[in-house]
Structure 1
Amino acid sequence: MFTGIVELMGTVAEYNPQDNSASGGQGVSVTIKGASAILNDCHIGDSIACNGICLTVTEFDKDTFKVGISPETIVRTDVSDWVTGTRINLERAVSQEVRFGGHYVQGHVDTVANIVSVTPEGNSLVFGFKLRDSQYEKFIVEKGFICIDGTSLTVTQVDADGTFYIAMIAHTQDVVVMPLKKIGSLVNIEVDLTGKLIEKQISVALQNQFDDSHSTLNKLIEQIIDEKVQKYLSTK
């Protein structure tokens, strides 16, 4: 679990596609450097969020660590755009000592979005995004949480076409990768888990009601139909 509060930016040192070694994840292996500040308490098997993707440390030294990335993760995320020199947001999994300053982030990226606009607003930058997969638009609401490239942010506006916006203050601009990206670039998106849980609970509850012929919902539907039929017959 993560908070979406980026600890530092690392840099891709090596990107090895089709790495079939034990530490390569049968997909891509990536070595990230410039991470010494978060490796003092690192262990093999620890989770580190890399641009919002929860990845497992398979090797590390004082300054670098290696992760294996599965084919499914590559499809879901912006990993295929990474090259040597790409800057990456990094955050360790939460510990008991961490203040929960962001929001509940799993590190399970749902999809990607394109940056469609960047507009200065005072010393802030307002970024606009369009999702690749529109089925996640229902989980993005004004003033709701969203995690973008591993950064916990607040949605400031949602347009009718699904385009959504966040405002990034000057401090955050200095410590995360998004301002380094250009319009059209991909970002990783993890929508707020709360919305997905609520949708699942409502869906299951409704399905259970439909499946039970004696349920309150079915009785209500029958009542409404009977009333409509009686009203129709009374006009004949």
Structure 2
Amino acid sequence: MFTGIVEIMGTVAEYNPLDTSASGGQGVSVTIKDAAAILGDCHIGDSIACNGICLTVTEFDADSFKVGISPETIARTDVADWTPGTRVNLERAVSQEVRFGGHYVQGHVDTVATMVSVTPEGNSLVFGFQLRDAKYAKFIVEKGFVCIDGTSLTVTDVAADGTFYIAMIKHTQEVVVMPLKKVGALVNIEVDLTGKLIEKQITHALHNQFDNKNSTLNKLIDSIIDEKVRKYMSK
């Protein structure tokens, strides 16, 4: 579990799509450097969010760590765009001592979005995004949480065409990777878990109601239909 409060920015040092070593996880292997500030208490098997992707440390030294990334993760994220020199947001999994300044972030990226606009507003920047997968649009709501490249942010507006916006203050601009990206770049999106849980519960409850002929919902529907039929027949 993470908070979406980025600790530092690291740099991709190695990207090996054909690495088949045990530590590479039979898939893409990535080494990230400039990470000394978060490796003082690191252990093999620890989770570190890299641009919002929860990844497992398989090797590390004083300044860098290595992770293996599965094909499924590559398909859902911007990992395919990483090259040596790419900057990435880094956050360790939460501990008991961490203040929860962002929101509950799993590090399970749902999809990517394209950055479609960047507009200065005072000393803030307003970013606009379009989701690749429209099915996640229902979870993007004004004043709701969204995690973008591992950064906990608040949605400021959602346009009719699905474009959504966030405003980033000057301090955040200086400590996360988003301002380093240009219009057209991809970002990782994790929608708020709360919305997905609520949808799941409501869908499950409705299915149970529909499947039970004696349920309150079915009785209500039958009552409405009967009333409509009576009114029609009495004309």
* Shorter-normalised TM range: over 0.9
Secondary structure in 2 matching 1:18:
coil
Measure, in 1, the Cα distance between the counterparts of 2:119 and 2:28. Answer: 35
Give the Å deviation of 1:23. Answer: 1.1
* Residue aligning to 1:182: 182
Secondary structure in 1 matching 2:156:
strand
Measure, in 1, the Cα distance between the counterparts of 2:34 and 2:206. Answer: 50
Report the AA paired with residue 89 of structure 1: N
Q: Cα deviation per residue 1:63-82 (whole Å; 9 max; x = unaligned)?
A: 00000000000000000000
* Residue aligning to 1:202: 202
Give the Å deviation of 1:18. Answer: 2.5
* Residue aligning to 2:21: 21
Q: Which runs of 5+ in 1 are unaligned?
A: none
* Residue aligning to 1:54: 54
Q: Cα deviation per residue 1:12-32 (whole Å; 9 max; x = unaligned)?
A: 000000221111122200000
Secondary structure in 2 matching 1:141:
coil
Q: Which runs of 5+ in 2 are unaligned?
A: none
Q: Cα deviation per residue 1:168-196 (whole Å; 9 max; x = unaligned)?
A: 00000000000000000000000000000
Q: Cα deviation per residue 1:43-79 (whole Å; 9 max; x = unaligned)?
A: 0000000000000000000000000000000000000
Asked if 1:228 is matched to 2:228, the reply is yes
Structural mapping, 1:160-175, within 5 Å: 160-175=160-175
Measure, in 2, the Cα distance between the counterparts of 1:188 and 1:179. Answer: 14
RMSD value, Cα: 0.4
Segments of 4+ moved more than 6 angstroms:
none
Q: How many pairs are equivalent?
A: 235
Percent of aligned positions that are identical = 84
Measure, in 1, the Cα distance between the counterparts of 2:226 and 2:34. Answer: 70
Report the AA paired with residue 137 of structure 1: A
Measure, in 2, the Cα distance between the counterparts of 1:19 and 1:157. Answer: 42
* Residue aligning to 1:103: 103
**With structure 2 as the length reference, what TM-score do the two structures score?**
1.00
Measure, in 2, the Cα distance between the counterparts of 1:196 and 1:158. Answer: 18
**With structure 1 as the length reference, what TM-score do the two structures score?**
0.99
